[in-house]
Structure 1
Amino acid sequence: MAGYFSNHSQSRFLANSTTGSNATTTTTAATAAAATSPVAPAPPPAARPRAPSSKHFSTFVHAPAADEKAQGKDKNASSSPNGASATVHPLRHTWVFWFRQQRAPGNKITNYEEGIKKVSAFGSVESFWSLWTHLNPPSSLLPTTDYLLFHSGVRRPVWEDPLNRDGGKWIVRLRKGIADRLWEDLVLAIVGDQFDGCVEPDNGCQKDGTAKDSAGKQEDGSEWPEICGCTISVRQNEDIISVWTRSDTNAKAKDKIKETIRRALNLPPTTVMEYKSNNDSMQDKSSFRVAPTDRTPLS
């Protein structure tokens, strides 16, 4: 029975057994046991023999921790656009952000394309927001600076591009201080396919000539979207947003696009919206030049 007690408990048990004819013998036996089994050094030896078991215990504890860590990585990966097992919400099209900043007055860039720089492309909701949250809003840009968002099929965001040259653009001039919200609403409307219903797939606008047919199909055989892209130009006294269309020949489609812009941006009915073909822009070398009487900022 004494084997089930520690040395300390055994000493207390035997010390309390002071009655009976064997008290002296028992006390002597306890003293001898104490002499042969020192109590003070006992804890260190007891700790050392537990080392192997402690090692296994440590492994056992870390195993679930490692599993939890791996699960945490999986959770992070599923919420991260860069994770291998990420849950990605693909967009219908891939889009590209471009940036252009004019040099100081008196030292302007003569070639428009010379100042255009590609920022990044995105094809999912996650990659869009990871890029969008790192872009400065228009209100923090210096005049004259342009943001350009175009379909990935547009090689360069210029009038002469095969997808742009037969189209045009809707133009809205904004007073200073309201561009941030309207620009974000416009980008979300285009990326979110709010313009898809503006043109029927089988109308003559998309199949009305050789040039259009050659540029009218994507690699998978589907039609290019009617909206090529959009831009915002930060100027000294106004900001200008524009929506670029692929065709200039379908008046009905242009009117639908105009109304979609008005609805997406929640513009008042009195807002002046100008349309200019890219052919006219190539002729007069200007994207936004119109008659002075039409230059009415949004109020």
Structure 2
Amino acid sequence: MEIIEKKEADNNTNNTQTGVDSLDNKEFEERRLKSPLHSLKHKFVFWYTRRTPGVRTQSSYEDNIKKIVDFSTVEGFWVCYCHLARPSSLPSPTDLHLFKEGIRPLWEDSANCNGGKWIIRFKKAVSGRFWEDLVLALVGDQLDYGDNICGAVLSIRFNEDILSVWNRNSSDHQAVMALRDSIKRHLKLPHSYVMEYKPHDASLRDNSSYRNTWLRG
């Protein structure tokens, strides 16, 4: 299953390794030139990570992270997002990442190394809707302490999907708790859902991270 869906069955798929439709760049430019653009506060990048279950690889986690597309305008976002495959159609395990430009979806990145993430687990039937609501809130800079946010990840797994929001500073208690409340508010999260915050350095120490979830498959 491609990360970016094909618009035509007979389209030439020259970039199957990254899941990019060869028509996307041309269509994007045509749409961009037709109307005035509305700039976003931040430029964003969609990434994905995927492997085949049961297949061992010698490549590092960083090597498996592939860039899909970047955008900096409202119009650019919708052109990109409308071509992305829905989470429900993607195989397990797959990670979708949406991060501000210049920040890699890695703990070791300088923007992430002192931060952490809010974690929410969802049943697979509803995760796509919550992911979309989070993406819109992030792109639209609607979450509190937005400058402290690095990005978000949807981890698609076999029995459940895991959504996380990464921030820069795990020691700023006010910003961390305000982010939690803002996520709950924008996602209209039911009270039955539990949110867990975990600093990235704790994930590195105890091996109970998304990266290790990925490696365990």
Which bracket does the TM-score occupy, shorter chain normalised?
Answer: 0.7 to 0.9
Q: How many residues are matched?
A: 183
What is aligned with 1:237? 159
**Structure 1: where are the runs of 5+ without partners?**
1-78, 200-224, 290-299
Q: Look up the SS of the partner of 2:136 in the other structure.
A: helix
Structure that is richer in helix per residue: 1
Q: Decide whether the 8 Å contact of 2:112 with 2:150 is kept in 1.
A: yes
State whether structure 2 residue 174 is matched by structure 1 residue 252: yes
After TM superposition, list the pairs within 5 Å mapping 1:1-299 onto structure 2: 81-83=31-33, 86-108=35-57, 111-154=60-103, 156-195=104-143, 197-198=144-145, 225-288=147-210
- Counterparts in 2 of 1:109 and 1:128: CA distance versus 1, 3 Å: farther
1:242-289 Cα distance to aligned partner (Å, 9 max, x none): 000010111111111001111111111231001111111222344249
- Which whole-Å deviations, capped at 9, do the CAs of 1:121-180 have from their partners, x for residues lacking one? 1000000000000000110000000100001021x2100000000000000000121111
1:61-119: CA deviation from partner (whole Å, max 9, x where unpaired): xxxxxxxxxxxxxxxxxx95431x63000000000000110232242566211211001
Give TM-score, length-normalised by structure 2: 0.79
Q: Which amino acid aligns with 2:63?
A: E
- Which residue identity is paired with 1:180? G
RMSD of aligned C-alpha atoms?
A: 1.9
- The structure that has the greater radius of gyration is 1
Structure 1 residue runs of 4+, over 6 Å off? none
TM-score normalised to structure 1 length: 0.58
Q: Which of 1 and 2 has higher RCO (CA within 8 Å, sep 6+)? A: 2
3-state SS of paired residue (1:177): helix
1:119 maps to a residue whose letter is I
**Distance in 1, Cα, partners of 2:159 & 2:96:** 17
- Do the aligned residues in 2 keep the contact of 1:109 with 1:115 (CA within 8 Å)? no
Relative distance call for 1:189 and 1:243 in structure 2 (3 A) is same
Aligned-partner SS, 1:158:
coil
- CA distance in 1 between partners of 2:58 and 2:120 (Å): 24
Preserved CA contact (<8 Å) 2:115 2:168: yes
Structure 2 distance, partners of 1:288, 1:112, is 11
Residue pair 1:148, 1:157 contacting (<8 A) in 2 also = yes
Query: Separation in 2 of the partners of 1:182 and 1:241?
Result: 8
- Secondary structure at 2:32 match in 1: coil
Identity among equivalent pairs (%): 44
- Indicate the larger mover: 97-106 or 166-175: 97-106
Tell me if structure 1 keeps the 8 A contact 2:95–2:155: yes
Name the CA distance, whole Å, in 2 between partners of 1:82 and 1:95: 17
Q: 1:186 is matched by which residue type in structure 2?
A: L
| Distance in structure 2 (CA, Å) of the matches to 1:113 and 1:152 | 16
**8 Å Cα contact 2:155/2:210 also seen in 1:** no
Maintained 8 Å contact 2:32/2:75: no
Query: The residue matched to 1:187 in structure 2 has which SS?
Result: helix
Amino acid at match of 1:170: W
